[in-house]
């Protein structure tokens, strides 16, 4: 949970609104959240956040992440490859200051080469986000959307043309976030664990007002 209850003001930091066509959500002002590469000292907190996400998916009836994935070895592999990024609440003396985790990948995704029942929006370099999870207590405050936004900014800096992501058909929370943030459904991709719905957001396309 956050160190202080979220309200219109958190300590000396004021909450700001991000407007989308579907809803208005509140996120902490950017200067109070740090988007940074994950470090070995973050692993236990990351695993805790993932366990919370797995439980939430199970309780919602989703089949995603119910087979032991992602596990410690996946997170350690992310860190070795430089994929792991966390969203951290600044100025909080607590092990729970890390409120979100994901694997931000810039060297492609093999499964995306064989998209079916559709096609990607375009060609060019892209960033992929895997294993996004938000901590209990931070859900419902626009944190997932903020993580996507920070990933998008990083991809812009690295000259990427688009942002691709996939999720399970029954992960309704993630599907809602992706549509709210301007991602377009492109088709289906396949892993050993099964079928996923694939989405893309082109950076040269008009985006919803925020």
Domain regions of the chain by residue span: 9-202
| pLDDT classification of 1: cutoffs 50, 70, 90 | very low
**pLDDT at site 131:** 96
Q: Which residue has the higher pLDDT, 14 or 138?
A: 138
Indicate whether 2 pLDDT > 70.
no
Rg over CA atoms, the chain: 17
**pLDDT at site 93:** 52
pLDDT tens for each residue of 50-89 = 999 999 888 988 888 888 899 999 999 999 999 999 999 8
Over range 34-39, report the average pLDDT. 95
Over range 132-156, report the average pLDDT. 94
CA angle, residues 209, 151, 107, in degrees to nearest 5: 135
List the end-to-end C-alpha distance of the chain, in Å, as a whole number. Answer: 26
**pLDDT at site 5:** 35
Over range 37-42, report the average pLDDT. 95
Indicate whether 202 pLDDT > 90.
yes
Q: Which residue has the higher pLDDT, 119 or 94?
A: 119
Over range 97-110, report the average pLDDT. 96
Question: What superfamily would CATH give domain 9-202?
Answer: Gcn5-related N-acetyltransferase (GNAT) (3.40.630.30)
């Amino acid at each position: 949970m956050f160190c202080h209850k979220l309200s219109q003001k958190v300590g000396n930091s004021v909450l700001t609104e991000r407007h989308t066509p579907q809803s208005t959500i509140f996120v902490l002002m950017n200067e109070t959240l740090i988007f940074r590469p994950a470090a070995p000292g973050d692993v236990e907190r990351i695993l805790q956040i993932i366990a919370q996400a797995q439980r939430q998916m199970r309780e919602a009836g989703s089949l995603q992440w119910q087979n032991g994935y992602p596990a410690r070895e996946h997170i350690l592999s992310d860190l070795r490859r430089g994929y792991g990024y966390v969203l951290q609440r600044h100025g909080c003396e607590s092990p729970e200051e890390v409120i979100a985790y994901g694997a931000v990948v810039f060297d492609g995704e093999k499964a995306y080469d064989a998209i079916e029942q559709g096609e990607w929006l375009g060609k060019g370099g892209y960033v992929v986000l895997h294993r996004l999870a938000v901590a209990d207590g931070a859900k419902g405050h626009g944190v997932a959307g903020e993580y996507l936004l920070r990933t998008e900014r990083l991809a812009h800096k690295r000259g990427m043309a688009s942002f691709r992501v996939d999720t399970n058909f029954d992960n309704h929370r993630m599907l809602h976030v992706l549509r709210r943030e301007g991602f377009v459904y492109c088709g289906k991709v396949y892993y050993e664990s099964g079928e996923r719905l694939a989405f893309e957001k082109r950076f040269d396309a008009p985006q919803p007002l925020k």
